[in-house]
Structure 1
Amino acid sequence: MNRYDEVLVALRRIIRATDMHSRQLSKVSGLTAPQLLILQLLRQHGELTVGEIAHGVNLSQATVTTIIDRLAKRDLVRRERGSSDKRKVFVHLTEAADAVLADAPKPLQDSFIQQFQDLHDWEQTMILSSLERVAYMMDAQHIDASPVLDVGQLDRTDQNH
């Protein structure tokens, strides 16, 4: 096999691993990876504004608003106006979200992050540099992306893609 074929196979494995984990997450919890990350962030902080959530998960405020709308329809989050500043709206978890989070598998990026952080600095830099070059070679450097390992639209309604 040519080296470029080996690289393409490795990329395909990464894409397939992400897709398989995404499907498993959806099947087990009924959530997308971005939805799970938002719920986990809210569990850590108690209450956050949409802007704070967007910053915390590295997604646009518009995308987070759409995801929050979908989570609210499923009664997993609720919005409340701030008590001291009525202009601020905070997002809170519901009891239903606590139950979903208890059974949800860990996001794929959690295990990746742990293993990546265990690498030496030079290894991390080499991987980052190589992947940035691959993204450039695939003309993907201009694509807006967040550090959420998931496939499909981040604010999709269809849980099965």
Structure 2
Amino acid sequence: MTPSQTAPTEPPAGQALRLEEQLCFAVHAASRAYDGIYRALLKKSGLTYPQYLVMLVLWQHGPLSVKELGSYLRLDSGTLSPLVRRLESAGLVRRVRSAQDERSVIVHLTESGRAMRTTIDDVPRAIGKATGLTMPAAMALLADLNTLTASLEAAAS
């Protein structure tokens, strides 16, 4: 059994409520550190990290409904809609009502949105370097985090 597969154990008495013993805080701190790196790397593009994520999904999957986009990003429409509006104002996406279902809005990349992909294609490489992880270590961590997310989502429902 590898260290990432070992069963959780109880921390020693008195340590259960120590900040440095909280996995949730370690994940939170890593997320904030990621935000800082992304902020610096995305500054020249004018994108925020959440907007970058929207663009990643659209580059990968093409036009999607707001609902589908939210599903990929694990965001509700109340959080996602302002992001998409700002991307539309920047000329990177356009929103179109679905011909099949007027209640549904489809998000399309504009030519500028498609072109942006080539201007920030160095971001993943720079992020990888900033982590200090080898590719195998990064892939193992990604797998562990995906397992953690799935377990937490299952426990919450």
Common fold, TM-score beyond 0.5? Answer: yes
Listed as ranges, the matches of 1:100-115 within 5 Å are 100-104=116-120, 105-106=123-124, 108=127, 115=137
Structure 1 CA distance for aligned equivalents of residues 100 and 32 of structure 2: 48
| Partner residue in 2 for 1:75 | 91
Alpha-carbon offset, residue 15 of structure 1? 5.8
Q: Are residue 14 (structure 1) and residue 35 (structure 2) matched?
A: no
Kindly tell me the number of residue pairs found equivalent between the two proteins.
123
Q: 1:140 matched to which residue of 2?
A: none
Normalised by the length of structure 1, the TM-score is: 0.58
Partner of 1:118: 140
Equivalent residue number for residue 40 of structure 2 = 24
**Correspondence for 1:136:** none
| Structure 2, gaps ≥5 residues long | 1-14, 153-157
Q: What is aligned with 1:94?
A: 110
The structure richer in helix per residue is 2
Q: Shift of residue 82 of structure 1?
A: 2.1
Task: Output the CA distance in 2 between the equivalents of 1:59 and 1:114.
Answer: 29
Other structure's SS at 1:92 match: strand
The equivalent residue for 1:153 is none
What runs of 5+ residues in structure 1 fail to find an aligned partner? Answer: 133-161
* Amino acid in structure 2 at the alignment position of 1:45: H
1:57 corresponds in structure 2 to 73
Q: CA distance change for structure 1 residues 83 and 115 in 2, over 3 Å: closer, same or farther?
A: farther
Q: 2:59 aligns with which of 26, 43, 52?
A: 43
Question: Which segment is superposed worse, 26-35 or 63-72?
Answer: 26-35
Change (3 A) 1:31 1:87: same
